[in-house]
């Protein structure tokens, strides 16, 4: 199960968790924090893994896309993993494990801070980029995942996500 933890903006789009619903806990790869931002008047989402800071950027979303974010996210995650050189078996394993989703509120100021820094960075890079905003976001998504954020010491999101995937597949 995928656990999406939304900011106030994201929960407004996704719909809040059910009243009195228990916290969804952790998903199969931890939680995925969701934030909404705009690039050239187009709604975008940054979705960040809380353990690895591996991110997925989505561009040009509509309100209805947020109502069932899981398939859009899993498709984009699979594409990111393919571009980052993950084995096909690992990509398919993630797709199978991500067959359901739950929504909760954010619960980590550390991840929120880094996620806000990612949004600031992507807005700047799209503004100065040479490609269309959609293409630039795809290019810069890989760059963000190769950035060693302060929460990861000297590691980047791709390496940390790879370790998390291989550990989960092995059952460790």
Is pTM beyond 0.85? Reply is yes
Instruction: Give me the domain span that covers residue 137.
Output: 2-165
- Residue by residue, DSSP assigns the chain as -EEEEE-HHHHHHH-PPPTTPPP---BBTBEEEEEEEEETTEEEEEEEETTT--EEEEES--HHHHHTHHHHHHHHHHHHHHHTT--HHHHHHHHHHTS-EEEEE---HHHHHHHHHHHHHHHHHHHH-SS-HHHHHHHHHHHHHTS--GGGTT--HHHHHHHHHHHHHHT-
**Residue 48: per-residue pLDDT:** 95
Tell me the C-alpha distance between 15 and 63, whole Å.
Answer: 10
What are the average pLDDT values for consecutive 10-residue runs of the chain, which has 172 residues?
Answer: 91 81 71 94 95 94 94 95 94 88 88 93 89 90 87 76 81 57
Q: What pLDDT was estimated at residue 65?
A: 96
Q: What is the CATH number of the domain that holds 92?
A: 3.30.420
pLDDT at 152: 59
Q: What is the pLDDT of residue 44?
A: 96
pLDDT at 130: 83
170 found inside a domain: no
> What pLDDT sits at residue 129?
83
Q: Output the pLDDT for position 19.
A: 67
Strand partners, 37: 44
**In-domain check, residue 19:** yes
Residue 171 inside a domain? The answer is no
Q: What is the pLDDT of residue 95?
A: 87
Question: What pLDDT is recorded for position 171?
Answer: 61
In a domain, 92, yes or no: yes
């Amino acid at each position: 199960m995928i656990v999406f933890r939304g900011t106030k903006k994201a929960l407004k789009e996704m719909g809040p968790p059910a009243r009195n619903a228990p916290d969804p806990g952790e998903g199969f790869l931890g939680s995925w924090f969701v934030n909404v931002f705009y690039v050239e008047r187009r709604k975008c989402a940054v979705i960040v893994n809380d353990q690895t800071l591996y991110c997925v950027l989505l561009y040009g979303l509509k309100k209805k896309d947020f109502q069932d974010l899981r398939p859009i996210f899993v498709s984009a995650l699979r594409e990111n993993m393919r571009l980052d050189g993950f084995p096909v078996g690992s990509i398919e394993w993630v797709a199978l494990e991500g067959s359901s989703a739950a929504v909760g509120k954010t619960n980590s100021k550390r991840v929120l801070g880094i996620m806000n820094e990612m949004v600031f960075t992507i807005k700047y890079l799209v503004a100065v980029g040479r490609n269309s905003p959609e293409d630039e976001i795809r290019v810069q998504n890989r760059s963000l995942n190769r950035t060693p954020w302060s929460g990861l010491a000297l590691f980047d999101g791709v390496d940390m996500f790879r370790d998390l995937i291989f550990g989960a597949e092995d059952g460790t």
